Structures are given as structure tokens and as C-alpha cells.
Amino acid sequence: MTLVPEPGAAAAAAPDVAAAPDATAAPDAVDLIMAKRDGRVLTDGDIRWLIDAYTGGRVADEQMSAMSMAIFFRGLQPAELRTWTDAMIASGQRLDLSSVPAPTVDKHSTGGVGDKVSLILAPLVASCGAAVPQLSGRGLGHTGGTLDKLEAIPGWRAGLSAREFVHLLSTVGCVICAAGADLAPADRKLYALRDVTGTVESIPLIASSIMSKKIAEGTQSLVLDVKVGSGAFMRELDRARELARTMVRLGTESGVRTTALLTSMDTPLGRAVGNAVEVAEAVGVLSGTGPADLVTVTLELAREMLSLAGIEADPAVALADGSALAKWREMIAGQDGDPDAALPAAAHSLLVRAPESGWLRRLDALAVGTAAWRLGAGRARKEDPVSAAAGVICLAKPGERVQDGQPLLELRADDAARFGRAVEALDGGIEIGEQQPVLGPAVIERIA
């Protein structure tokens, strides 16, 4: 694989908002902040200069913080957002996957609780004939990270060279690994800034962050899994729909075939929440068994990916005949992991029991995700370690009838002292009632 540098962003003519009389002068960060603060549209030159100058250290963090807040309140017009995203891509290198013989298609999830879909999806879609290049990340807060989960497998490594990446993609057909530092470095700086300035929820900034990395990755097609619900980044359907449409437009305008599925995240996906426990559940699905909600979401995403890649194949058959599981083993071994090794097991466990009999009406995803985080499965800061063995097993799910005293959840931890705060996180997150709940669909809507 060849890493192709993007052309540098040339200094543009001074925008209308600039006060300097010299029409050839570079823009001024303060002028641009004030322009966006007042609701004015930034020119392509303004934006390209700003991103390039910030990446190169010529615009200070406090200035970009002010710009992020101005964008939070004023937004970006579609043309501004397109240029903003392009400039973020141009801040680093863009991968060239043209030597990969199979059509390339990736999937990105906005994150949720128990979302181990990528672990299943990459080998599943690859077993049907596509090449799946997944550059993934680590978890933060109550949402898990794909790399953290895979690192529970003895020997598996997330860091690959460009040569290893393209070799595995061309031979195995699927790779899940960490993105290199040269991929959209502007996003790395902006992401950290947004996290400490209260601007994380800005849809233009979310969309440009996700899509700059995915477009720079070089995939031909992309399916977005936009989670909706209490355990998701987007809790409201209208906001999730807006984010999905924004990202689909950015991908399409950049020449990447892009669609999105809105999927439910009010309840943990599947029954396992953590790292090793999610790997075990993913292997179960690949072996032909698994929770219905997890299987449904995975198959719908797989069908969408194969459709974009132009491949006529039924992923359900690949699950049933063992080819997806064989591809999983090949993918793990290709990154030095041992697919036969025992996964880490927690030293301590605690059962959370039903306080009464009735229908389990609600098992809040945020509450369960926070409990898993407090057990050690997640991190508060990027540099924090995570426990491979910690997590939560959902022994019952909404729509099931439970008895007084019946185990609902099994908490697992390396340190028993963590159980207290984990149980506190579950307070108010479990609802049992006399009426059977009406459950919504796992896949809510498709956006293209």
C-alpha cells in the first residue's frame, strides 16, 4: 500500500471578514472566529488556512476552542463542512488501496454498549468476497472500543505497518487495526480539544471527524451504523437522522459510496458488555449461535456492505456453513493472535437479582455501560488501562419474564472493591412491571 500525501493547503486570498488591507495576506484566526461567531460563511481559503495553521501549531488551542464553540452554536453550511472535512484529510496522508484485488467496503459505528458487531462483521463480509479495511479505536467512558476487545486475545496486535495492512487485506480479506498518526492528524488535535471544551455534540464536528478518517482510509464503500438511544452518542432519533444524513452526504460527495443504518441502543446489544466477554459472544455468533438482536443488526449491516460492494452473497449462509468463523481465525492469526487461546477470566463475580416478579421492561444501556466501565472494562482518560476480563453479562433482556430473586446481571471484575460503584450505576436502570413491553426494531431506518 502506498501512502499518498495530500497536496498542502495553499494560503488563500484574505476573506471578506479580514480587516487587513493587503488582499494577499493570510487570514487572521481572530477575524475568522468573529466571522463564524456572527453567523457568516467562511470561504474555502479561510477554512483550508485555518486547519493547516492549527495542525502546524500556528493557531493556538484557545483560538480553535473558540472556533469550535462558534461552530457549535452557528453550525457549518454544507459547502463549508465539505471543505472543512477535505482540509482535515489533507492535513495528513491518504491510503491508496488500489492494489487490493477485491472491492473494499468498511463500516463505522458511532458507538454503543455491547457493540461487538465489527468483530463479527469484518470476517463475515470478507468471507463473502469483499475486502474490509477497518481502522478502529479504543473505548472512552461507557462505550467500548473495538481494539480493547481484540487485545483481550493473547498475542493479537493492533499496530500494523502499511505493508502489513495491505498484505493482510489482499490475502486474508479483512483487517482491524489502529489508525496511524499520519491519518487526518488535524482530527486528532480537534478531537482532544472538543472533549475538554463542551463541543463534542456538534453535528458538523462529529461528521467531519468520522468522515475525514474514513475517507482518508481509502475504502471504496462505507456503511455507517448510527446508534440511537440512551446508551448512544445520539439519544434522539431526529439528531441521529441528521448526523447520518450529514455523513452520507460527505462520503458521497467525496466519491465514497455511503449509506447509513439507524440502530437501537436503548438496551445493550447482545448479552455481553466488556472486552473478553464480547469477544466470546462474537465467536459464538460466528459459530452459529448468538442473541437475536445482535445477529439481526450484524446481518443487516453485512447485507448493506455487500450490496455497496456489488457482491451477491447471503451472509447468513456464511455464518451457517462455518466460512465466517474460518475467516475470523485467519484474521486473528494474521495479526499474531491465537484464536484457540483461552480468554482472560475475572477473579470475582457478583449477581444482581430481580427485586420482584414480572416482565423486564427496561435494561438501560447507559446504566449497564457505566457499570462495566466502573468494573474496569472502560477508561475515563485515553491513557488509562482497561481490564480484559471485567464486564457485565445480561442474564435477562427486556421482553422476558423474570421471578423475584432471579439473577438479571452477572458483574465481573478483577477487583471486588469495584462492585459497589458498579451496582450504584445500575440504580434506576432496571424496570420490572406487570405489562409486557412492546419492543422496537433493532434496525430503525436506512438512509442513503
Average pLDDT over the chain, rounded to whole? 92
Q: Domain holding 84: CATH number? A: 1.20.970.10
Among 100-109, 141-150, 158-167, 389-398, the least confident range: 141-150
Inform me whether the pLDDT recorded for 140 exceeds 70: no
- The closest alpha carbon to 343, from 279, 270, 415, 412, belongs to 279
Is residue 435 within 8 Å of residue 359, measured between CB atoms?
yes
Please check whether residues 79 and 129 belong to one and the same domain: no
Do 184 and 291 sit in the same domain of this protein?
Answer: yes
Q: Which of 122, 221, 233 is nearest to 172 (CA)?
A: 122
Q: Report the helix count and the strand count for the chain, using DSSP H and E.
A: 16, 15
Task: Tell me: pLDDT of 253 over 90.
Answer: yes
Answer whether residue 427 shows pLDDT above 80.
yes
Containing domain of residue 80, as a range? 2-93
Q: What are phi and psi of 294, to 5 degrees?
A: -65, -45
Residue of 386, 374, 354 whose CA lies nearest to 416: 374
Residue 444 falls inside a structural domain: no
Question: Would residue 438 count as lying in a domain?
Answer: no
Predicted confidence band at 25 (pLDDT cuts at 50, 70, 90)? low
Q: Are 349 and 409 in contact (CB under 8 A)?
A: no
Provide the pairing of β-strand 2-5 with 93-96: antiparallel
Q: Which domain-ending residue is among 334, 357, 392?
A: 334
Query: Residues 102-117: what's their mean pLDDT?
Result: 96
pLDDT score recorded for residue 24:
53
CATH number at residue 282: 3.40.1030.10
Q: What does the alpha-carbon distance between residue 411 and residue 373 come to, in Å, rounded to a whole number?
A: 11
119 & 195 share domain: yes
Contacts of 423 (CB under 8 A, 6+ apart): 350, 352, 371, 411
Q: Does 441 map to a domain?
A: no
For residue 340, tell me if it sits in a domain.
no
- Has residue 339 been placed in a domain? no
Pairwise CA distance, residues 447 & 402, whole Å: 37
Tell whether 173 and 71 lie within a shared domain: no
The pLDDT of 12-18, averaged and rounded, is 39
Quote the number of domains for the chain: 3
Whether residues 65 and 146 share a domain: the answer is no
Q: What is the pLDDT of residue 421?
A: 97
For residue 102, give the DSSP letter. Answer: S
Domain match, 154 and 197 both: yes
398: in domain: yes
User: pLDDT band at residue 27, thresholds of 50, 70 and 90?
Assistant: confident
Does some domain include residue 32?
yes
Residues 188 and 258 in one domain: yes
Of 139-148, 185-194, 298-307, which gets the smallest average pLDDT?
139-148
Q: Does a structural domain hold residue 123?
A: yes
Residues 289 and 185 in one domain: yes
Is residue 70's pLDDT more than 80? yes
CB burial of residue 16 (10 Å; 0-12, 13-18, 19+): exposed
* CA angle 43–46–48, rounded 5-degree value: 110
Same domain, 355 and 403: yes
pLDDT average, residue stretch 383-397? 93
Last residue of a domain, one of 334, 366, 383: 334
Give the pLDDT of residue 19: 40
Average pLDDT of the residues in 190-199? 86
Helix H or strand E encompassing 97 = none
pLDDT at position 11 over 60: no
CATH classification of the domain holding 427: 3.90.1170.30
Together in a domain, 203 and 325? yes
Summarised one tens digit per residue, pLDDT across range 207-228 is 999 999 999 999 999 999 999 9
Residue at which a domain ends, from 93, 117, 150 = 93
Classify residue 228 by its DSSP letter. Answer: E
pLDDT confidence of 144, banded at 50, 70, 90? confident
What is the reported pTM? 0.91
114 and 72, same domain (yes or no): no
Per-residue pLDDT at 420: 98
Which residues are catalytic, by number?
A: 108, 187, 194, 209, 213
Confidence of residue 353 (pLDDT cuts 50, 70, 90): very high
Claim to verify: residue 84 and residue 99 sit in the same structural domain: no
